[in-house]
Amino acid sequence: MEDTEEEVLLSDDQKLDIAKWFLLNSPPGEIQYVAKDLKSLLNDEDVYRRAAAEAFPLYNKSNIICLHFPNRSGEVLVSSFSEISEDEYLDPRTAQVGKVDHVRQICTTMRPATDEELPSPYIEEYRCALDAEISKYVEEAYPKGVFSVYCTNGKDAEDCGSDFELVVVITATRHSPQNFCNGSWVSIWNIEFKDELQTVEVTAHYFEEGNVQLDAKHECRDSTIFQSPDDSADSLMNIIRHHETEYLTSLQASYSNLPDSTFKELRRKLPVTRTLFPWHSTLQFSLTRDLEKELGIEK
């Protein structure tokens, strides 16, 4: 009697969960490739559409992708900080809102932001000053970097005496699939302006991903004095520059040691024969001869 393997049939909900997992765990810049393969493997248009509709918005926001406006008048970062609705995202620099097709990863239309969607003139003065300083830094430090500065709390404040919060988001990507090299960098700076304490508290979170799903994450905290918009922006920029430079330097040192540390530990120190392979004299080995001997083939 022959053993037969029972075919395991998955429900549509199980297929949906698996498809979403693969989409959400796609490396930077590769979700469209993953989606194409998934669509072919699923062979079920309805399940694929449901998985894409649920996974793409989450993926786009977690990776903070950058999309150009249709007329190229600006760009918008898709993030929780810029989200107006599930498919509308604010670009505070141009005071425009872009409508996003998450699955196609394009900005389809744009409109002017309303007064309710923008911070007060008092907050905007601080936001613009910081935006200008960040622009200089990103241009210098990140050749393909983009950024945005958002007001996430207290945007209706009209004058001194009110607390408010700004968030700086810096993102840079390198997509080179033909060279099997895709990666992304994101740094998020949460800045709390506390008027009563006359301080500005800065909390950062940065992370980096690569095509081997190598993730690096780091958090830091700092503070400075609450000053005028221009002086505050200058102080904050110095803080950001210092911490990012320090962290990038430490990352570079860690990566340079990977071949002799982490990657070395992943390799088998000796082959299963427990003898080193004689790279200096490989002529003594013949794959063809060994195969002929194993198969009993004689010339």
140 occurs within a structural domain: yes
Lateral strand order in the sheet of 199-210: 145-153, 164-176, 181-194, 199-210, 216-225
Residues 16 and 108 in one domain: no
Residues 150 and 179 in one domain: yes
Contacts of 205 (CB under 8 A, 6+ apart): 187, 188, 190, 217, 218, 219
How far, in Å, are 7, 8, 61, 69 from residue 1 at the CA level?
18, 21, 55, 66
Residues 56 and 86 in one domain: no
In the predicted model, what is the mean pLDDT of residues 175-195? 82
104 occurs within a structural domain: yes
Domain end among 63, 89, 104? 63
User: What does the alpha-carbon distance between residue 63 and residue 209 come to, in Å, rounded to a whole number?
Assistant: 10
Helix (H) or strand (E) holding 133: helix 121-141
Nearest to 195 by CA among 167, 162, 237, 225: 162
pLDDT beyond 70 at 190: yes
Residues 128 and 246 in one domain: yes
Residues 101 and 146 in one domain: no
Report angle CA 221, 223, 229 to the nearest 5 degrees: 130
pTM of the predicted model as reported, rounded to 2 decimal places: 0.77
Residues 204 and 142 in one domain: yes
Which CATH number goes with the domain that contains 112?
3.30.1140.60
108 occurs within a structural domain: yes
Residues 95 and 163 in one domain: no
295 occurs within a structural domain: no
Burial 91-110 (b: 16+ CB within 10 A, else e): bbbbebbbbbebbeeebeeb
pLDDT beyond 50 at 1: no
Residues 172 and 253 in one domain: yes
Residues 184 and 203 in one domain: yes
- What domain count does the chain have? 3
Q: What is the mean pLDDT of the chain?
A: 82
Contacts of 285 (CB under 8 A, 6+ apart): none
In the predicted model, what is the mean pLDDT of residues 117-142? 94
Q: Which structure tokens are listed for 202? A: 């800065």
Question: Using an 8 Å Cβ cutoff, are 214 and 27 in contact?
Answer: no
- pLDDT tens track for 237-257: 999 999 988 888 887 776 666
Helix (H) or strand (E) holding 127: helix 121-141
Q: Is the dihedral of CA 37, 182, 240, 89 positive or negative?
A: negative
Residues 19 and 93 in one domain: no
292 occurs within a structural domain: no
Confidence of residue 282 (pLDDT cuts 50, 70, 90): low
Residues 205 and 100 in one domain: no
Contacts of 224 (CB under 8 A, 6+ apart): 199, 200, 202, 232, 235, 236, 239
194 occurs within a structural domain: yes
Domain end among 18, 43, 63? 63
Which CATH number goes with the domain that contains 213?
3.90.1150.210
Residues 109 and 133 in one domain: no
For residue 29, give its domain range.
8-63
pLDDT beyond 70 at 288: no
Question: Using an 8 Å Cβ cutoff, are 165 and 191 in contact?
Answer: yes
Q: Tally the C-alpha atoms within 13 A of residue 287's C-alpha that lie toward its C-beta.
A: 0
pLDDT the model gives residue 175:
75
Quick count: other Cβ atoms within 10 Å of Cβ 201? 15
- pLDDT tens track for 11-46: 889 999 999 999 998 888 889 999 999 999 998 999
74 or 110, which is more confident: 110
